[in-house]
Amino acid sequence: MPGNSFGKLFHISTFGESHGPAIGVILDGCPPGVPISGAEIQRELDRRKPGQSTITTQRREDDAVSILSGVEDGFSTGTPIALIVRNVDAKPEAYDHLKDVYRPSHADFTYEAKYGRRSWKGGGRASARETIGRVAAGAIARRILLDAEGTEIVAFVKRVQDIEAEVDLGRVTLADVESNIVRCPDAAAAAKMVERIEEVRKAGDSVGGVVEMVARRVPVGLGEPVFDRLEADLAKAMLSLPATKGFEIGSGFAGTHLTGSQHNDPFYVEGGRVRTRTNNSGGVQGGISNGEDIVLRVAFKPTATIARAQDTVTTSHEPTVLRAKGRHDPCVLPRAVPMVEAMAALVLVDHWLRQRAQRGTRPAPEPRA
């Protein structure tokens, strides 16, 4: 199956290119009766859209979403939901100088090698603009999880280059994250991050870093054995995002420095519920959620398209020097935060539906009091 779709029961297919007429998503498998608000979807898209601040691309897009199908009187009908965002500030002519040149570490060369052609106007499907559809569908997934289980998903910028934030995962809120333009809830670290991103932007360069995410009140039992383990699907979801180069859950690579006695999460019972005293597992054991917070981290590389001169080759394999033009993020991290949250929501709601189907219960969520 072509790689433009994701999910099994909660299934999305995204479409559109960076400088085409529109970007969107078809969502199939949403249970009927879910309250769906265009304003709620728009709030998430506004967190992802370009032109938010001086440290993001200056492309000006409202990213206004239109709901074309699958919703009546504010509730899902159970039929496919089509969401679309029109591109209004596309400037394909700004990329004319890239028509016959491969950008280093971009998708230009590999797309042409695979398909025999490529979209050089802003990168086409390889552009982060493709994630509009994911974030829009993710907003619906979040609503289902919140109403049904009280599940809350919060991501934030943990690190930019070598500047790392100190964040209490048990207390961090969306308001904390949205309190500054870099989406880092540690105010002191955030100020340093903004300064660093501004420095590299003025130098025509870029930086990367890490987004961390916590999902609270995730029900026990989500995930399948062997190939559809919950952490495996989360890893695939996160590494499908543009510019990602690494994924960790729980203790991640740091856990390799510990012994088993140090790393194991001891069980105890609290109020009739089995809990773990530590959470090195990151909320997943044996590929199945254990009811503790799911904690993961995603590494994003420095943006590939930069204004500095770089050695490369043309499509006819002649050496050349490229100094890219156009509008690009000097750091993708601030806009990646809602993308990480959306992909986590899509994975969790898909497994939530699968678990309910396996148990033979009705999948439509009941709003919480």
364/6: higher pLDDT: 6
> Which pair of structure tokens corresponds to residue 249?
């859950």
Is the pLDDT reported for residue 111 higher than 60?
Answer: yes
Give the phi and the psi of residue 86 in degrees, each rounded to 5: -80, 140
**Integer CA distances (angstroms), 324 to 103, 332, 352, in order:** 8, 17, 44
Residue 61: is its pLDDT beyond 60? yes
**CB-based contacts of 110, cutoff 8 Å, min separation 6:** none
Domains of the chain, start order: 5-359 (3.60.150.10)
Q: Checking phi first, is residue 51 left (phi over 0); if not, alpha (psi -120 to 50) or beta?
A: left
The answer, as to whether pTM is greater than 0.85, is yes
Q: Report d(CA 285, CA 209) in Å as an integer.
A: 27
pLDDT band (50, 70, 90) for residue 295: very high
* Lowest pLDDT segment from 116-130, 136-150, 183-197, 329-343: 116-130
pLDDT value of position 52? 76
Identify which of 213, 346, 217 has the alpha carbon closest to the alpha carbon of residue 293.
Answer: 217
pLDDT at 185: 98
- Tokens (6 digits) for 219: 């029900």
**pLDDT band at 363; cut points 50, 70, 90:** very low
Tens digits of residue pLDDT in 331-350: 999 999 999 999 999 999 99
Instruction: Calculate mean pLDDT across residues 99-107.
Output: 90
| Pairwise CA distance, residues 247 & 349, whole Å | 20
Q: Which residues, in sequence order, are bridge partners of residue 233? A: none
Q: Per this entry, what is the length of the chain?
A: 369
Closest CA to 305 of 128, 150, 163: 128
Q: Please determine, for residue 95, whether its predicted confidence score (pLDDT) is greater than 80.
A: no
Mean pLDDT of the region 239-256: 97
pLDDT at 328 over 50: yes
Assign 321 to helix, strand or coil: strand
Residue 209 confidence (pLDDT) above 80: yes
Nearest to 296 by CA among 348, 358, 344, 352: 344
Which of 38, 31, 105 is CA-nearest to residue 306? 105
pLDDT reported for residue 19: 82
What letter represents residue 201's amino acid?
A: R
pLDDT for res 207: 96
Whole-number pLDDT of residue 307: 87
366, with CB counted inside 10 A (0-12, 13-18, 19+), is: exposed
Q: Worst-scoring range by mean pLDDT, 18-27, 152-161, 230-239?
A: 18-27
Q: What's 95's DSSP letter?
A: G
Position 369 pLDDT exceeds 50: no
Name residue 162's amino acid.
Answer: D
How far is residue 19's CA from residue 366's CA, in Å, rounded to a whole number?
40
Surface-to-core class of residue 329, CB atoms within 10 Å of its CB (0-12 exposed, 13-18 middle, 19+ buried): buried
**CA gap 99, 120 in Å, rounded:** 6
